[in-house]
């Protein structure tokens, strides 16, 4: 456990990347409407920042994106900005809408291989220009985390999400609440830090690369992925229409409990036909917490026989993006299946690849 009271990294430099979302909104004093914040005048709008001696510079997406419109193109832009400025800053804070923040964090965690500096995503439920905003605290603490070092090395050299009081591993996080300030959870992995009077880092949970290698950015992402969420009474034509999607390469199948599904012959047959065509079907539980164990029940046991593989304790967000990433590297079916069952960067609880 490391406690950081922010005393010894006053000259850290941080790049703030504003992609869009509620956090960057401020009320225009003349019209009363909410407009995108001008980050060139960040310190004027947030005098709190003047108390730090960090060098905080910013850049922004033009136009800013609601995170519902974020996807591979936006992820590539963020990765490109980080790569282009990597040697110039100690850490990066990505301001992002909360709705799809977990997907973006997962994507960046795979795209930024050998990451050795913090990339902290944050946002807010209320615009930064509103009196009760949660944005100021989120932003200031995210900057502190991105700047935090011990013995000259970053404390959290990971892609993570900071929200409310908690720092979570990005590819383990889900948005769980549309209203509350405390909107994100990581059920299958402990927090990396808790922010109270001090920021308490649990360094035993942080991913530290064994060897320090140069950052390598992977831009290839294949969008031919689908989510198949099971529900009782699902009709064959719905399953068929998803599995027969032209060009489909990977499916995240959200099953019941610890990875169970109906045993109807038509259903198992459709899965088998799809995997035989080379489609990778990954079994993820619909439960917010816990792990897939297909051997526990008869209703799970039949799935591996159809070629479905376990997604272990992955979030849906992380599994979707990991499939995009692996197919985007030009991998074939067998290789993708192998990598889906290993941890690339701490996204599932199994051995590392």
Catalytic residues: 22
Instruction: Establish if 22 lies at the interface with ligand ASP (CB under 6 A).
Output: yes
User: Considering only residues 16, 17, 21, 195, which one is a binding residue for ligand ASP as defined by CB under 6 A?
Assistant: 21
Q: Please tell me the distance from the alpha carbon of residue 80 to that of residue 100, in angstroms, as a whole number.
A: 19
CA-nearest of 287, 285, 278, 274 to 319 is 285
Residue whose C-beta lies closest to ligand ASP: 97
* C-beta separation of 166 from 120 below 8 A: no
Q: How far is the CB of 22 from ligand ASP (least distance, A)?
A: 3
Q: How many residues bind ligand ASP (CB under 6 A)?
A: 11
Nearer to ligand ASP, 140 or 340 (CB): 140
Instruction: Establish if 137 lies at the interface with ligand ASP (CB under 6 A).
Output: no
Instruction: Establish if 317 lies at the interface with ligand ASP (CB under 6 A).
Output: no
Q: Exposed, middle or buried by CB within 10 Å (0-12, 13-18, 19+), for 26? A: buried
Beta-carbon contacts of 339 under 8 Å, excluding residues fewer than 6 positions away, are 322, 326, 331, 353
* C-beta separation of 183 from 125 below 8 A: yes
Instruction: Establish if 134 lies at the interface with ligand ASP (CB under 6 A).
Output: no
Q: How far is the CB of 165 from ligand ASP (least distance, A)?
A: 17
Instruction: Establish if 97 lies at the interface with ligand ASP (CB under 6 A).
Output: yes
Give helix then strand counts, H and E, for the chain. 9, 21
Q: How far is the CB of 255 from ligand ASP (least distance, A)?
A: 27
Binding mask 214-243 for ligand ASP (x = CB under 6 A): ------------------------------
Q: How far is the CB of 146 from ligand ASP (least distance, A)?
A: 20
225's enclosing H/E stretch is strand 225-229
Instruction: Establish if 98 lies at the interface with ligand ASP (CB under 6 A).
Output: yes
User: Considering only residues 72, 91, 118, 123, which one is a binding residue for ligand ASP as defined by CB under 6 A?
Assistant: 123
Instruction: Establish if 135 lies at the interface with ligand ASP (CB under 6 A).
Output: no
Q: Please tell me the distance from the alpha carbon of residue 78 to that of residue 92, in angstroms, as a whole number.
A: 10
Q: How far is the CB of 226 from ligand ASP (least distance, A)?
A: 22
CA-nearest of 226, 203, 306 to 261 is 306
Q: How far is the CB of 57 from ligand ASP (least distance, A)?
A: 22
Beta-carbon contacts of 3 under 8 Å, excluding residues fewer than 6 positions away, are 198, 199, 200, 201
Identify the three-state secondary structure at position 45: helix
Nearer to ligand ASP, 20 or 307 (CB): 20
Instruction: Establish if 173 lies at the interface with ligand ASP (CB under 6 A).
Output: no
Applying the rule CB under 6 A, the residues between 67 and 86 that interact with ligand ASP are 67-68
User: Considering only residues 27, 38, 57, 66, which one is a binding residue for ligand ASP as defined by CB under 6 A?
Assistant: 66
CB atoms near residue 295 (< 10 Å): 12
CA atoms within 13 A on the CB side of 163: 32
Which span (17-25, 107-115, 216-224, 226-234) binds ligand ASP, by CB under 6 A? 17-25
CA-nearest of 323, 310, 344 to 209 is 344
Instruction: Establish if 99 lies at the interface with ligand ASP (CB under 6 A).
Output: yes
Nearer to ligand ASP, 117 or 175 (CB): 175
Please say whether the dihedral angle defined by the alpha carbons of residues 195, 200, 205 and 207, taken in this order, is positive or negative: positive
Nearer to ligand ASP, 96 or 169 (CB): 96
Q: Which residues bind ligand ASP (CB under 6 A)?
A: 20-22, 66-68, 97-99, 123, 125
């Amino acid at each position: 456990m490391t406690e950081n009271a922010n005393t010894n990294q006053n000259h850290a430099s941080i790049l703030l990347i504003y992609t869009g979302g509620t956090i960057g909104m401020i009320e225009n004093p003349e019209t009363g409407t909410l407009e995108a914040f001008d980050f060139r005048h960040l310190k004027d709008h947030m005098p709190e920042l003047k108390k730090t001696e960090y060098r905080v510079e910013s850049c922004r997406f033009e136009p800013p994106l609601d995170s519902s419109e974020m996807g591979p193109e936006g992820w590539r832009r963020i990765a490109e900005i980080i790569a282009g400025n990597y040697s110039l800053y100690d850490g990066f804070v990505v301001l992002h809408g909360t709705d799809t923040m977990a997907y973006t964090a997962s994507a960046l965690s795979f795209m930024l291989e050998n990451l050795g500096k913090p990339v902290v995503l944050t946002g807010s439920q209320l615009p930064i220009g509103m009196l009760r905003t949660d944005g100021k605290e989120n932003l200031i603490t995210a900057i502190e985390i991105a700047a935090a070092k011990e013995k000259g090395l970053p404390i959290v050299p990971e892609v993570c999400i900071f929200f409310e009081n908690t720092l979570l591993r990005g590819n383990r996080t889900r948005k769980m609440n549309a209203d509350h300030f405390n909107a994100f959870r990581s059920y299958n992995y402990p927090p990396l830090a808790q922010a109270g009077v001090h920021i308490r880092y649990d360094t035993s949970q942080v991913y530290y690369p064994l060897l320090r290698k140069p950052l390598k950015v992977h831009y290839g992402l294949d969008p031919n992925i689908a989510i198949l969420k099971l529900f009782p009474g699902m009709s064959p034509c719905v399953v068929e229409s998803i599995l027969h999607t032209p060009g489909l390469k990977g499916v995240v199948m959200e099953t019941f409990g610890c990875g169970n599904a109906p045993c109807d012959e038509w259903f198992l047959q459709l899965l088998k036909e799809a995997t035989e065509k080379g489609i990778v079907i990954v079994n993820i539980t619909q439960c917010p917490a816990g792990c897939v164990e297909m051997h526990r029940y008869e209703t799970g046991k039949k799935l591996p026989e159809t070629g479905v593989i376990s997604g272990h304790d992955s979030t849906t967000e992380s599994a979707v993006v990991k499939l995009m990433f692996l197919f985007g590297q030009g991998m074939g079916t067998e290789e993708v299946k192998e990598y889906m069952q290993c941890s690339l960067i701490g996204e599932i609880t199994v051995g590392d690849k």
